[in-house]
Structure 1
């Protein structure tokens, strides 16, 4: 623990106890206060964004961002033996379950962060349209390839569990890919030369393991922080949380209005959120790897991976329907017509 004690000297902390909680987290007590010392995964190219996130949290009085202590030299971190360490208060996490209360706190906290750090910028729609058109063609090609795989599997006298799963899931994949294309068309059909695009402080790797709840709730670990559309932050959160079979996806959708109350997303931002959730790339990569024989995983591992990705995709369809019913005034054609 000598190297850890050396890092703590940069904060004038002389520990009574140091407990190694994980490979990267140490609980430190000096007899008066408890601290969490983190050996981060920060690289030098991410360090500036990480520092800016805490400076923004301080300047905007974002109490839901767990503060980071300054070293004696006024820095947010201590570099020691090629590792970057930072120090925060130790919070005993009293509620580790995902329930109505924690979900409400999460939506309000991240919504407030996105709203208070929001900046507007005018962007040219022509480049945006080109990017979305390319992406729409990719989705159309992906649907054709998936259909080819399904037809190939169905020719087998006995389908493997993986092949049977792909065939069973294809209808929802087809529906979702048509859904994503109709939403991309909303960007392609924009008539304005410029539109307003909102950027906010984004955590970059949101999930419930990065929320601590004591007397109040805090968001931690902004090591992947970016300044990006809030829709990107939400898409990452949902993808991280809905993959398991016991994820309470209904709760995420039912309480989504709390986020919208804290940070009302524009129609374009809602479209962007759905587009990212319905991205077929991960699903297609797994199936293509299986067909090409490039995947070294077992049949069980392949089936589990596919189920996880499929649940994310299915959640995107469910949230898309909710958004259309609750927030959009545009009437879309039936994607199956």
Structure 2
């Protein structure tokens, strides 16, 4: 699309804001607009997304959390414009000129996430029946996973000549099972600890946490963008996917990731039950089980090399996650012992 056409295509939308575009740069779903009122970001979202997230953004602003890129209202007070079957909303353009190392950025991101969770936290009532139902469903699911792993190894071991994938699976089977058992044990511990409580802590979660969704303004302050998936939920729903993605590397002792989590805990400490749930979900070897299941279900000739590569990668992810979970449970146990020791002395 030519520069002129781009200006013409966004002009009717910007008209609602009394903004007159001079020049528009295309960044995919975001357009950078140079105009008579400054530089803006115009973002396109599917109408199915809806504008519920704007309520959450406003609620956070009311509670004093202003590290979200503001969404501007139109002249008649709406926060999104429906145009040719898409919704659009307008924000200031962030320069994002921060040249700091990634680690500093992550620490700042986690501190701001902790503030966001702290300011939006509320207690909700969860009936014992709901909790028990969630527990039973999850346990059933975990047992199904274990049955599949056991069934598949039996099948592999019956072969006179195993394929490379089957051979590698037999090698990894014990560790996958171990991770699944650990996850189940933590989940059972969570249920034991909470089955008689009728309260749970909910926060506004960002829903798509990523360092790419944390931008800096020209004064060097960091702001969250991309809030379309924001909703009330457990705080672990923001932390887990981010952490899991950062563990998608070759085998490594990722102490940096542990530092991020404890930096976040400094500002928003998890309660005992939240920690148990966090460990349970982080240890759950879902990615590697998905690879095994897709190999098992694949009809016809299988690309062994591709499947072996995927299994290897997800095994690394499993080992990286295992290190983080084990190290964190070790740190927690040391802290508990130190606390108990101090109490006994006093």
* TM-score normalised by structure 1 residue count: 0.86
Aligned partner (choices 101, 125, 130) of residue 128 of structure 2:
125
With over 3 angstroms needed to count, the CA separation of the structure-2 counterparts of 1:314 and 1:72, relative to structure 1, is: farther
Partner SS state of residue 115, structure 1:
helix
Contact 2:79/2:89, CA 8 A, preserved across alignment = yes
Q: Could you tell me which residue of structure 2 aligns to residue 6 of structure 1?
A: 12
Q: Deviations over 1:42-94 (max 9, x none)?
A: 51xx4243122211221122222111111112121111111011111111223
Q: Could you tell me which residue of structure 2 aligns to residue 194 of structure 1?
A: 197
Write the distance in 1 (CA, Å) between the matches of 2:96 and 2:163.
44
Gaps of 5+ in 1: 332-337
Q: Could you tell me which residue of structure 2 aligns to residue 288 of structure 1?
A: 293
With over 3 angstroms needed to count, the CA separation of the structure-2 counterparts of 1:264 and 1:87, relative to structure 1, is: same
Moved more, 97-106 or 4-13: 97-106
Alignment of 1:121-270 (within 5 A): 121-156=124-159, 159-190=162-193, 193-214=196-217, 215-245=220-250, 249-270=254-275
Write the distance in 1 (CA, Å) between the matches of 2:22 and 2:51.
33
Aligned partner (choices 33, 53, 56) of residue 53 of structure 1:
56
Instruction: Return the offset for 1:314.
Output: 3.6
Instruction: Return the offset for 1:155.
Output: 4.6
Q: Could you tell me which residue of structure 2 aligns to residue 334 of structure 1?
A: none
CA radius of gyration, larger in: 2
Contact 2:193/2:273, CA 8 A, preserved across alignment = no
Partner SS state of residue 327, structure 1:
helix
Contact 1:207/1:241, CA 8 A, preserved across alignment = no
Write the distance in 2 (CA, Å) between the matches of 1:228 and 1:78.
28
Partner SS state of residue 39, structure 1:
strand
Partner SS state of residue 61, structure 1:
coil
Contact 2:32/2:93, CA 8 A, preserved across alignment = yes
Moved over 6 A (4+): none
More helix by share: 2
Q: Deviations over 1:126-157 (max 9, x none)?
A: 43133223322322332232133234334545
With over 3 angstroms needed to count, the CA separation of the structure-2 counterparts of 1:283 and 1:17, relative to structure 1, is: same
Gaps of 5+ in 2: 1-5, 338-346
1:271 lines up with 2:271 in the alignment? no
1:109 lines up with 2:112 in the alignment? yes
Q: CA RMSD in A?
A: 2.8
Moved more, 224-233 or 180-189: 180-189
Instruction: Return the offset for 1:330.
Output: 7.8
Partner SS state of residue 91, structure 1:
coil
Moved more, 191-200 or 99-108: 191-200
With over 3 angstroms needed to count, the CA separation of the structure-2 counterparts of 1:96 and 1:156, relative to structure 1, is: farther
With over 3 angstroms needed to count, the CA separation of the structure-2 counterparts of 1:227 and 1:79, relative to structure 1, is: same
Q: Could you tell me which residue of structure 2 aligns to residue 302 of structure 1?
A: 307
With over 3 angstroms needed to count, the CA separation of the structure-2 counterparts of 1:62 and 1:134, relative to structure 1, is: same
Contact 2:258/2:328, CA 8 A, preserved across alignment = no
Contact 1:235/1:273, CA 8 A, preserved across alignment = yes
With over 3 angstroms needed to count, the CA separation of the structure-2 counterparts of 1:42 and 1:117, relative to structure 1, is: farther
Q: How many residues align?
A: 328
Q: Could you tell me which residue of structure 1 aligns to residue 95 of structure 2?
A: 92
Moved more, 316-325 or 217-226: 316-325
Moved more, 221-230 or 97-106: 97-106
Instruction: Return the offset for 1:227.
Output: 0.3
Instruction: Return the offset for 1:107.
Output: 0.8
